[in-house]
Structures are given as structure tokens and as C-alpha cells.
Structure 1
């Protein structure tokens, strides 16, 4: 079990009282078939396969279903995304569907369970030996579904998650700092106003010091020069 799949059981517990929608409607011209809608309408979420949820996960809840439907199916949708059973839509696409629902106004247990999943997903992208997600797309997706006030928590987690996460930080600085300074979009899925927030955080002091610490810890490591280059960029006027 990974940290991400470990958040699935709490999701089911938090959403246990959400009733089955009974009937799910949607655009059958190009988004989902009548047969797929019938499966969603007749089966409990635990019985749905990744194939059953593919069209729904790609289009809910803007052209398929309603926000209440999404609230019911979300634990299973996030589960098959976490296990890798659902290869399309990918995890980033599924998570970004949250922007269509007022999930931050849901009851505390539901909101907290979703946020635990998002944190575990971000941590997995930063620390896995063989990452299955592009960390930049994960971060961009988080800026889309989380309010700015919550971003600091994910950035703090970035610094606190060990050398692998800081390798990604050095790479991000080396690849994107100049673009951020020129107010260019750093990812096609990111909220446009996330750039200035990221730039301010990167140049706030702790990220640069963390990168220099990693360099000084092992100056002969293969990634040492990337740490040094990134740290130098962050302290440059």
C-alpha cells in the first residue's frame, strides 16, 4: 500500500452517507453512451470498474452528471486513479474535475479526506523512485483546485520531503525561474496567478538555503551542480 492508496479508505468513510444518485444523465452525443449511463445509474460505486468510470471521469460533472453525483462517485473514481487501474483520464485530469464542484464547502470530513488525497498525491510525485506523475502537472492541478491560501502547505511539504523532493525543486528553479520572473506561464494547467506566488516563495529564503544545504551535504553527488546552480539563481538580485 502506498501513501496515496492509504487515503482511499478514509475517503469511503467520509462519503459513506452520500446517497446513490439513482439516475445519472449526460451528453450522449460525444461524452458518454446510454449504456455507460445505465451502469452508473444501476451499480453501487464499489462495483464500478475503471472501464465503467472512464467516460464519466473524463467529463463529470460539467457534461455528465451533476455535482451531487460526483460527490457520490468520487471515492471510487479517486481509488481507481490511485491504483493505476484508470489510465485515462489520468490522475491529473480526474483531480482537476474538482474545480467544477464546491468541494471546499463540503462537510469537514469530506473536505479533509479529499485534501489528504491531494497531499499524498503531491508527496508521491516528489518522492517516488519511479514517479508515475509529472510533479509540475501535479502542482499545476493543485493550483487549479485549491485556493491560494492552501498553496503554502504544499510548498512547505516540498521543502520537508527529503533529497528527492529537493532534486525536483532544483530542477524547477533551473527550468522555470527565468520564465516566472518574466511572468510567463510555467504550465498549461496552472492558474495564471500562481506564477507570482511561486516566484515570491522561491525567493523568500528557505528554498535557496535548502538547496545550498543539499549541495554542501555532498558536493560530489551527481545532482550537486544542479543544487548549486539553482541556489545561485535564487540569491541573484
Structure 2
């Protein structure tokens, strides 16, 4: 039982893009301190739903229409300033990895965090260490070599995106399939970090690989053909929905 008001709420929400109804009459409450696993097959509407929380569909497609309500801390996201909304809810997906190729390390840290390389604190370095990329920041020679993000591996880029998300200290983290691309060892370290910070934050992890995150998620939202087919405890989903 939850005693707090939901931090995110869907109320009979539907999403149309062009002539296609992507999401259909969704109702869902998400609470502070939860780790939610958004699970479902390809083209089930997972990314469209997650982008709806931060008004991102409108920047990617023409003729986007949301019907019903989406609320952040009780206020309609349609009435909130997008810059403010995205400072409170961070969203990342695999396209972010590709976009990093057009920036340098200095540029991405300055644009995302207003941070200079020389100002990285012990707290930040500890997170970088846990994410397996602290070596890049350990001396000037490494910084020169890695300043071009084209020289980074996919895993290193995902770790950097995860670091930026953590360092911004939002109220809600949304990882849209991006963590699926980490190797097993790094994934365990990332999950450990996410689990430790969840007390005063909310995490939504979208995946098509249920087993990767079922050990840290309290609830599963199963999306299929734009509809929520299940929303409940992970243990109940495991029993009732064979993978």
C-alpha cells in the first residue's frame, strides 16, 4: 500500500501519431522510490509512452495528439515548462549513444551539467569508478585521448550517459532500453547504483529482456499493442506471465 501521492500518473491516456493510435486508454500510478520495469514486445508502445512523460514525441513526429491526462507531482505535464520537466525527469535511449559522436567530452559535460573536467568532485569520481570509466578522467593524457567521443566504446558511452543522468539528480530516471546494451559485469554495477539511490527517486527501466532487471524491480508494467495488460508486483508477473 502506498501512502504518498503518485509522482507520475496516467489517467485514461491515449496517444495518436498521425492516423495511428499508439497508446490506448492507459491508467497508471507511479510512486516515489519505486523501480518500475516497463516490459513488452517490440512495437508495443514502450518508447512512445516514456517519451510522453517529457514531451519528446512532439519533437520527433508530426501530428502528435495526446488525449487524457499525464501528471507529474499532480500537475499536468502539458502545462509545465519543458526545460523544467526535463530537469526533473531524465530520459535516455540508445539514440543518445549515436548522438555523442558529434560532441567532445568537454562539450557534453558542459552542456548537460555545466561542469568542467577540472571540477569533477570525489563524489562524481566515485560514480565514474563504479561505472567503469574513471580511468578516462584519471590523467591529462587519457582526457586528451578520450575527448573525442568517437574514441569511446558503446559500453563507455552508455556509462557516461548513465553518469550524466545520475549527476543531474532528477526525481525520475527513465532508461529506455539503453541499459540492455551493457555487458553482464558492468550491468550488475549499474543496477547496484540504481538500487541504492532509489529511496528518494523513481526509476523506470524499459526492456525486452525481463530477466536482466527482474531482480531489482518492485513492479512490472506489461505493455502490449499499446495497452497495459498487467501492472503489479514482479513476483505476481513471474507466476502469471510465463516468458
Give the TM-score normalised by structure 2.
Answer: 0.30
Whose relative contact order is higher, 1 or 2, with alpha carbons under 8 Å and at least 6 apart? Answer: 2
| Structure with higher helix content | 1
Give the TM-score normalised by structure 1.
Answer: 0.31
| Structure with higher strand content | 2
